[in-house]
Structure formats: C-alpha cells, structure tokens
Structure 1
Amino acid sequence: MTPSTSPSASASPSPTPSPTPPADRDGDGIPDSSDTYPEDPKNVPQQAPVNLTCETDNELSGSLFAVHGGKDGRPDFAEVWAAKPSSCEFVGSLNIVTAIEKQAYKVSKYDDQDISTLYEMCAAVDPDDVYAEAGFAASSEQIPEINGALTLCPTHPYAKRWRQAVQRGQADADLEAQGRLFGSGTYRVGKEIKPGTYVATDVDGCYWARQNSSGEIIDNYFTNGARRVQVTIRSSDYAFNSERCGEWRPAR
C-alpha cells in the first residue's frame, strides 16, 4: 500500500495594509491639507493677527503689538492693555472676517467696510480719553461708534465709562426729540420745544426772550456771565429765543 500523505496547508494571503488616513487634528472630517481652520472643529472664520503700533510711556516712538483672536471669538487685547498705550495706529489692511467684526461694523454704522478705527479705540487706554471723561455725554454720531467698539472689546478698561457716556448721550437724544433740550435760536413753544422750566450753565453773554405771537417780548434777560441761568417758558408763550446761552435742559 502506498502510504497516504496529508495535504499541505495552503499559505495564508498577506493582508493588504490600510492606507494611512490624512491628518485631521480637529476631527471634523476635513483633512488638514484642505481645512482652512485645522484646529477648529466648528470651522469658525478667524481673523489673522492684527498689528498695531502703540505709543506707551516706555516707547514713545511706538511699540508693535499683534492682536490675536480669543477663545470667545473676540480679539484678545490683554497684552496691549497691560502696556497702557495712550494711542494706537492700525498697521496694514484689514478685511472684516469674523461674526464679531461683522456685528461691530453693523453697530458702528460705518459705511466704508473698514473697522480699523474700532481696533485702535479698543487697543488704546488713554487717560485723556474724552469718551471716558466723567459726565461726558456721547453725541448721536458718537453713540454708534462707541457701541461698535464695545461689541469688539466689551471688557475694555474703560468699558463702564463708555457705556455711561452712551447712556447719557441717549438720554439727551431722547430729550432733544421731545423738544426738551435745545440750544441757540428761536423756537415755537408747543411745536418745537415744550413749555417748562429750563436751565443753562456756565454761560457767557447769554440772552433769552419769551415772545408772543406778534413777536413782542413778554420777558427777557441778559447776563455777561453766570454759572446758572433759569427760565420758565409758559404754554401761553408763542416763541422762545436765546443766544449764547449754550444748552437749555429741564431744571431738576
């Protein structure tokens, strides 16, 4: 008999190596090679570092600062603020990229697609900043600009004072719209201004006159200079005229 032989074991095929997946640091499924924001899984548009030349006590000729985006999507001015620059000037060009920048631009009511001024405002910590002065009331033109800066840098060292300036300015705008805040000129009582008791402060060469419908003077007053001048405009008056008295406000 011919002895039986065991069949030889067939050789196992070598496994095909899996291709190495492309690098994807943020795990968003987009390879780093084509990912605009390779470290941000949400792919939120980011601003390139913004360069500013700022004057500080140590470097009056100007120090260069690079402002990067922060974790909350807003620019991080911490390094600049620590140097307390009195003024800053934007370097280069700037495209409005991030959602915060777009919102700041909208709030500012600028119309030139440029928010470099807001970056300059946010960077500076000027002790002589007029917007931060005690009692300062922002004008109707200044209010949007300050609000735009506060959108970009809500934690600015002067943020509280800026907000107070906006509040005072808005209060004045409301009074003016009501006919209860006015300056030099002749006004129709009951149509352009409201009757009531008003004061003007720190006047120089101030003259006022209450008039009837014929233009005749009911009462008038003149002073070369005074800390405070007061007048009561009656509902029966036809017009009120003042010159060089500055701003008339409701008496408190």
Structure 2
Amino acid sequence: MALPHPYGTLRCWAGTVQLRRAVRATGVLLTTALLAITLTGCGDEKSATVTSATASPSASASPNASPTPPPDRDGDGISDSSDTYPDDPKNTPQQPPVSLECDTGNDWDALLTVRPGKDGRPDFSEVWAAKPTACDAQAEIYPVTDIEKAALKTSKYEDGNITTLYEMCAAVDPEDTYLEADYAASSEQIPEINAALLLCPTYPYAKKWRETVKRGQADVDLAAQGRIFGEGTFRVGKEIKPGTYVTTDVDGCYWERQNASGDTIDNYFTNSARRVQVTIRASDYAFSSENCGEWRPTR
C-alpha cells in the first residue's frame, strides 16, 4: 500500500522552513530524514544567496583626475619654475638686472637697477627717472643679447665687456662734455658713442650725442684728407693739403713754410693769441709749427 507523502509542501524563505504537516503520523523516521535533507538544502540556498549578495562587486572606482599642469605663463611648454625667461615664449637670451651705484644729487650712492627691456635692449627708464649725473656698475657687464653683442662690436673695445656703455647710458648729466654745442667727438669717442646709442637709442640726450658724433666724423674725414693736423713738420701735397688754416687760443706759437732745401719761405711767432691764420701754398715743400695746437681749414 502506497504511503501518502508525509508533507504536502516544503518551502524555504531566507532560512525559514515552513512545513505543512501531513495528517498521518506514520513514517516518523522517514519524515525526520526528509526534513534533515530539506533543511540542508535550504541552508545551501541561503548560503548561496548571501554569498551572491556579498560577492557582487561594487561599482568600478572612477579613474583618478589628471594632475594639474605646472604654471607656464608664456605657453612655451617649459614650466615657470624651470623657464629662464618665463614671459618670453621665444626664450630670447636677456641680460639679468644690472645694479648701478649712482649720484642723484640727493644721494651720492643711490642703488638703481637696469632691467631687461624689449628687443634685447636694457630698460633704463627707472634709472633715468632718478636723473643721476654719474653711475658705476657693481660688476663687469658682458654682452648677452644680440643688441649688446652688436654694441660691443661697434665700440671696438678689446676687453670684451660693455660696462662703460651701461654707465654712459645711465648717466644724464646736462653738463656733460658731449653735450656742448661745438664739441666734436674724437676718432676714439665716435665708435663708443655710437655703441651706446645702439644700447639706449631713447637716451634723454641722444640727439646731442648724435650731433657731436656728426661733428667728430666730419673732423675725422678732414684729418684723413690732410686738412686737420697738429704740430710737427708735414709734406705739403702728401701729408697735408695746401689751403688756408686757422688755430685758436695759443701761447708761444711758431710756424714756418719751407722750400725743398729746408729754407724758410715765411714764418711767424706770437707769445699769445686768440687766433692765428696761415695760408699754405701748393708750391710749398713743407709746413712746420710748434705750440700752435690744431690747425683747421677756415670755414
């Protein structure tokens, strides 16, 4: 005789076992065995459920944000902390700030600074504002920029530094010799002034500098032609040109015109004179003078 199923239904919910008890009480041992098996299965289901819940991975962590790039003001790809010229994308070499000790009238040793400027030229505006009459650099200055190198070449300096040019550009003395109305720069001063003008073309007295250079260059050209000369004996037509010459403010001046035998054609002496004039002829062989200063053609 077949036995009815001892339990009508067996259900498990989160570890809770509900049993619907059968009417008959027979088969207790079988019932107990079946119950044990069922409980074991429900335990496994619970375990799987819990394991599944705990094993579910959390949402993937978002990737780390990109690091903030270091500051780069000029956008040249070099961080400001490593960029020698952080405001120049071309990284053009620049002279570091130059310290000058200047006489400003109110202060004998005012410390002023020349800063890098545009196009490789130094910026003297801070110095000029103080109107110093003289300045001395605190250290020797060597050319860095192309403009400074060109200034060195123009100056014809042999020691390789441009310290004097910086000092010239810094001082704005209205009583400087170069600013005198009739001053003519010498052959040595002309390249130096021209070099300074390369370095500081907007110098407050740049116009007067250019005028003294112009007068000086005219004299250099005349000297090359043999039309400006000093004391000594010169061959007429070879070393000096014939013509009428004048000298000024002399003491104990003596001159003579000579023929080919060395004899005197004409001569003159004065203890003191504001102006002396002589005409050298093309037929003269030589001209000699002492203590007469510089002879210049009459204008």
Q: Does the pair score TM above 0.5?
A: yes
Asked whether 1:101 is paired with 2:169, we answer no
Deviation, 1:218, is: 0.8
Q: 1:145 aligns with which of 192, 200, 212?
A: 192
Of the structure 1 ranges 140-149 and 70-79, higher mean CA displacement relative to structure 2 is found in 70-79
Equivalent residue, structure 1, for 2:134: 87
Q: What 5-or-longer segments of structure 2 have no aligned partner?
A: 1-58
Q: Name the amino acid aligned to 1:138.
A: A
Q: Deviations over 1:9-35 (max 9, x none)?
A: xx8995664454443221123333432
How high is the TM-score relative to the length of structure 1?
Answer: 0.89
Equivalent residue, structure 1, for 2:203: 156
How high is the TM-score relative to the length of structure 2?
Answer: 0.76
Query: Greater helix share, 1 or 2?
Result: 2
Q: Name the amino acid aligned to 2:212.
A: A
Asked whether 1:197 is paired with 2:244, we answer yes
Paired with 2:140 and 2:237, the residues of 1 have a C-alpha distance of 52
Asked whether 1:219 is paired with 2:271, we answer no
- C-alpha contact 2:120 2:148 (8 A) present in aligned 1: no
Equivalent residue, structure 1, for 2:36: none
Equivalent residue, structure 2, for 1:128: 175
Q: Deviations over 1:41-75 (max 9, x none)?
A: 12111111100010111113x10001111234321
Equivalent residue, structure 2, for 1:26: 74
- C-alpha contact 2:185 2:212 (8 A) present in aligned 1: yes
Paired with 1:51 and 1:103, the residues of 2 have a C-alpha distance of 22
Paired with 1:46 and 1:69, the residues of 2 have a C-alpha distance of 6
Structure with the bigger RCO (C-alpha within 8 Å, sep 6+) is 1
Paired with 1:216 and 1:194, the residues of 2 have a C-alpha distance of 20
Equivalent residue, structure 2, for 1:46: 94
Q: What 5-or-longer segments of structure 1 have no aligned partner?
A: 1-10
Paired with 2:79 and 2:136, the residues of 1 have a C-alpha distance of 38
Taking only the aligned residue pairs, the percentage that are identical comes to 73
Deviation, 1:226, is: 1.9
Equivalent residue, structure 1, for 2:103: 55
Paired with 1:181 and 1:240, the residues of 2 have a C-alpha distance of 13
- C-alpha contact 2:253 2:289 (8 A) present in aligned 1: yes
Q: 1:238 aligns with which of 269, 275, 285?
A: 285
